[in-house]
Amino acid sequence: MADLTDEGGSSSSFTHRWSYDVFLSFSGEDTRLGFTSYLYQYLCQNGFHTFIDKDVRRGEEISEELLKTIESSRIPVVVFSQNYAGSHWCLDELVKIMQCRTNGQLVLPVFYKVDPSEVRNQRGNFGAAFTTLEENFQNKVPSWRNTLRQAANLSGFHYDN
């Protein structure tokens, strides 16, 4: 079993040095000034070295630096909210997060005011978002849909109020 500590000492043949304990993936317009900022503050106050994208520049493509940050984070927490699927940036992050599960990362989904079945089946706001995304990102949509289904099938937390 892999050693998931930052110390680097391990009796196993595989050791991974994590740069962050937690990586937060979320839709800024939905949760940045509320739920996610409180979660970030709580995690930091309790000793978790947590990455939040407050200093990341937005562009057409997800940056190599951000991809490396995802790879070097022990626990990605994905906050699914009403507008999460409307952001190709969030969906690209999610694809990378789910790919990194093979490195021993624990992915924790949080369903913030959305039902997990909405995410899994791309209904409601998630379905509407894909209607728009299909116009500009036809080649990525199948991967995003599959990744959302996989992530929504993980055991997570459902926050309703």
The residues that are catalytic are 93
3-state secondary structure the chain: CCECCCCCCCCCCCECCCCEEEEEEECHHHHCCCHHHHHHHHHHHCCCCEECHHHCCCCCCCCHHHHHHHHCEEEEEEEECCCHHHCHHHHHHHHHHHHHHHHCCCCEEEEECCCHHHHHHCCCHHHHHHHHHHHHCCCCHHHHHHHHHHHHCCCCEEECC
